[in-house]
A = this chain, B = another copy of it.
Amino acid sequence: MEQHKIAVVVGSLRAGSLNRKLAKAFCGLASGELDCKIAEIGDLPLYNEDIDKQPPQSWTRFREEIKAADGVLFVTPEYNRSMPGGLKNAIDVGSRPYGGSAFAKKPAGVVTASPGGIGGFGCNHALRQCCVFLDMPVMQQPEAYFGGVTDAKFGPDGAIVDDGLRKIATGFAHAFADWVRTIKLARAALAPDPTGAGA
């Protein structure tokens, strides 16, 4: 079976982040199909066009990690009814310079999780709005607003020990693998024939 390279972007920066745990556990749920690697965002200086003439090394590193991936998975909490600033900064960094966005055309998935009930809905859709401009086709269904996510949902090895959460996370993981494959196949079918043989 084909495996897709996925750059995972985690929205929270704290060491004990629930979303980081979820991201790590998630990738194991479809490991035959998804080859996940977290693209770290905590060391990215705030985006400022003035310094992009000689971009910081971390910006270049992040952009390369996104470019090398077949798809991008965002796993993030909600801050103040929207994306965490650090996540939005990573999106801005990856999207520039104009005409050279690392995100362009990559299939995307959005997972939001929180200890409370609403599951990061506001962040989820705020992020989807960015993906329009970024030209990233986002998987629409299933949506993933994971509420009630606490440390107790994970075992000592990081695996999800809550049956309900593991089941829906597994469903999401397989659907996401299908989505990435769908977009890859379609793009390949539509691409101009590189041999020039034509019809």
Q: Chain A: residues with CB nearer than 8 A to chain B?
A: 13-15, 42, 44, 46-50, 79-93, 95, 117-119, 121-122, 125-126, 128-138, 140-141, 143, 145, 147, 178, 181-183, 185-187, 189-190
* Nearest chain B CB to A52 CB, angstrom units: 9
Q: Is the CB of B145 within 8 A of A118?
A: yes
A117-B147, A118-B118, A185-B185 known; A84+B47 contact, CB < 8 A = yes
B85 near A46 (CB under 8 angstroms)? Answer: yes
- Is the beta-carbon distance between B80 and A134 smaller than 8 angstroms? yes
CB distance A89 to B85 under 8 Å? yes
A1 to B91, CA, bound (A): 38
Given A48-B14, A140-B131, A185-B189, also A88-B83 (CB < 8 A): yes
Contacts of A134 in B (CB 8 A): 80, 140
- Provide a sorted-by-A list of 30 A–B residue pairs whose CB atoms are within 8 angstroms: A13-B48, A14-B50, A15-B50, A46-B85, A79-B88, A79-B92, A81-B129, A81-B132, A82-B82, A82-B88, A84-B88, A85-B87, A85-B89, A85-B91, A85-B92, A85-B93, A86-B89, A88-B88, A88-B89, A89-B89, A117-B119, A118-B121, A121-B122, A122-B129, A125-B129, A128-B129, A131-B140, A132-B140, A182-B189, A185-B185
Bound Cα distance from A59 to B185, whole angstroms = 36
Minimum Cβ distance to chain B for residue A53 (Å): 11
* Nearest 9 interchain pairs by C-beta: A85-B89, A186-B186, A85-B88, A13-B48, A135-B141, A182-B186, A46-B86, A121-B121, A81-B133
Which residues of B lie under 8 Å from residue A132 when comparing CB positions? 81, 125, 128, 138, 140-141, 143
User: Which residue of B119, B121, B182 is within 8 Å of A190 (Cβ)?
Assistant: B182
Closest B-chain residue to A91, C-beta based? Answer: B80
B-chain residues with CB within 8 Å of residue A140 when the two chains form the complex: 131-137
Q: Which residue of B lies closest to A50 (CB)?
A: B14
